[in-house]
């Protein structure tokens, strides 16, 4: 029964609006420097990031400034009781010492006046609002009703490293099942189960990468090393997942393929573990015995691994021959006769596929 709640919390953390907000207050940004100064001084503060005219109807009093933003000036202005209003790019400080009067009928679960005001302002105006506690070194950000409490950098860094370790395990498993599928494809003995295993693992890697990327956004300048590690771990996964669907889906229209990929991304965790549901996404009967159901790849996945082969050329080759088995059986002259290929590229395709076979043979016997 806890799964829906966990799912909702995960979706909230991945919300693009929250990610944009985290990017604005990440370490290394001028706004985060100003926030950190306020935290260290224990003055507290309320910062609204929006077009002034969009929130001015809630103003009671205040000082209009319209000056360039600086962390030092933000810190000084936070010593006053009222809110500080910045422009959407946080380049200008528009107002200071503003008493905000949001609609009191808007539901708020906050207890403190500052945080209750912040939540209501974010809901009423869709502004980004940052509330900094005076006594507890806590920074809460509100965007369109979503609340997120900024964690200590060391805590976020620890979570990011744990995520990377999990991602590394996922990627190792993906590489194993992917290598096995490639070998079976060249042998002409792939089963639907082998395809679904790769599809499931590719999606798990993609989801874990998204989670780590969210931590990287929150880490800002402190997350550069983790970002480089993430890039190395996920290279090629998205393209391979797409090629896999194109190879084995029972449908071929671009719209249907895009819909299948979108539905895959939208599956909850339990559905992702259900091979019947995954088979259904590719157009098969979910009751199909995937262990015994033979499938033949069209060839997109294999051709995507041929160096410097444009996707449009690969599409023409697949359209001409129909499947990987026919491509492997074709001569250089037959491949070269495909419009847009030519003799030189045909040799590159043949050589690329031969090397791919050799690599997988080596991997299997290591």
Last residue of a domain, one of 150, 177, 203: 150
What's the token pair of residue 110? 């906050």
- Residue 205 burial (CB < 10 Å; 0-12/13-18/19+)? buried
Q: Which residue has the tokens 């299997």?
A: 364
* Enclosing H/E stretch for 128: strand 128-132
Asked if residue 318 and residue 182 are part of one domain, the reply reads: no
Q: Does residue 248 sit within a domain?
A: no
Model pLDDT for residues 171-223, shown as the tens digit of each residue: 999 999 999 999 999 999 999 999 999 999 999 999 999 999 999 999 999 99
Q: Which domain holds residue 144?
A: 15-150
Q: Does residue 1 sit within a domain?
A: no
Q: Which residue has the tokens 């260290």?
A: 40
Last residue of a domain, one of 135, 150, 165: 150
Q: Does residue 158 sit within a domain?
A: yes
Q: Does residue 195 sit within a domain?
A: yes
Asked if residue 309 and residue 360 are part of one domain, the reply reads: yes
Structure confidence at residue 2 (pLDDT): 38
Could you tell me if residue 144 is left (phi over 0), alpha (psi between -120 and 50 degrees) or otherwise beta? left
CATH code (residue 289): 1.20.1260.110
Q: Does residue 196 sit within a domain?
A: yes
Pairing state of beta strands 45-49 and 83-86? parallel
118, 129 contact by CB (below 8 A): yes
DSSP string, 70-95: -HHHHHHHTTSSSEEEE-TTS-EEEE
365 pLDDT exceeds 60? no
Asked if residue 286 and residue 222 are part of one domain, the reply reads: yes
As for how many domains the chain has, the answer is: 3
Asked if residue 202 and residue 133 are part of one domain, the reply reads: no
Q: Does residue 247 sit within a domain?
A: no
* Enclosing H/E stretch for 39: helix 30-41
What is the mean pLDDT of the segment spanning 226-246?
95
79 Cβ neighbours under 8 A, 6+ residues apart: 41, 43
Asked if residue 307 and residue 288 are part of one domain, the reply reads: no
Q: Which residue has the tokens 């599928």?
A: 181
Q: Does residue 48 sit within a domain?
A: yes
Q: Does residue 20 sit within a domain?
A: yes
Q: What is the mean pLDDT of the chain?
A: 91
Asked if residue 337 and residue 209 are part of one domain, the reply reads: no
116 pLDDT exceeds 60? yes
Model pLDDT for residues 76-87, shown as the tens digit of each residue: 999 998 999 999
């Amino acid at each position: 029964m806890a799964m829906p709640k966990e799912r909702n919390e995960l979706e909230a953390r991945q919300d693009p609006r929250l990610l944009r907000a985290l990017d604005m207050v990440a370490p290394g940004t001028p706004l985060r420097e100003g926030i950190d100064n306020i935290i260290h001084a224990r003055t507290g503060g309320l910062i609204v990031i929006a077009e002034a005219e969009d929130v001015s109807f809630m103003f009671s009093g205040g000082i209009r400034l319209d000056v360039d933003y600086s962390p030092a000036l933000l810190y000084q202005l936070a010593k006053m009781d009222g809110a500080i209003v910045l422009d959407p790019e946080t380049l200008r400080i528009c107002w200071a010492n503003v008493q905000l009067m949001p609609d009191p009928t808007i539901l708020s679960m906050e207890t403190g006046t500052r945080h209750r005001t912040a939540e209501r302002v974010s809901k009423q105006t869709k502004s980004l609002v940052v509330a900094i506690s005076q006594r507890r070194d806590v920074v809460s950000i509100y965007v369109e009703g979503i609340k997120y409490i900024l964690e200590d950098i060391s805590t976020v860094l620890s979570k990011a490293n744990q995520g990377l370790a999990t991602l590394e395990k996922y990627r190792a498993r993906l590489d194993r099942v992917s290598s096995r599928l490639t070998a079976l494809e060249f042998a002409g003995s792939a089963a639907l189960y082998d395809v679904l295993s790769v599809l499931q693992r590719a999606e798990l890697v993609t989801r874990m990468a998204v989670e780590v990327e969210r931590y990287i956004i929150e880490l800002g300048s402190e997350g550069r090393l983790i970002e480089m590690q993430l890039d190395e771990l996920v290279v090629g996964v998205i393209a391979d997942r797409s090629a896999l669907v194109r190879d084995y889906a029972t449908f071929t229209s671009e719209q249907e393929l895009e819909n299948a990929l979108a539905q895959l991304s939208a599956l909850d965790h339990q559905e992702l573990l259900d091979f019947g549901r995954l088979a259904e996404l590719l157009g098969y009967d979910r009751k199909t015995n995937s262990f015994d159901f033979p499938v033949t790849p069209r060839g997109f996945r294999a051709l995507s691994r041929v160096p410097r082969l444009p996707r449009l050329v690969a599409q023409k080759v697949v359209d001409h021959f129909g499947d990987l088995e026919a491509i492997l059986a074709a001569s250089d002259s037959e491949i070269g006769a495909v419009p847009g290929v030519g003799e030189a590229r045909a040799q590159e395709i043949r050589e690329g596929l031969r090397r791919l076979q050799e690599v997988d043979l080596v991997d299997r016997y290591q």
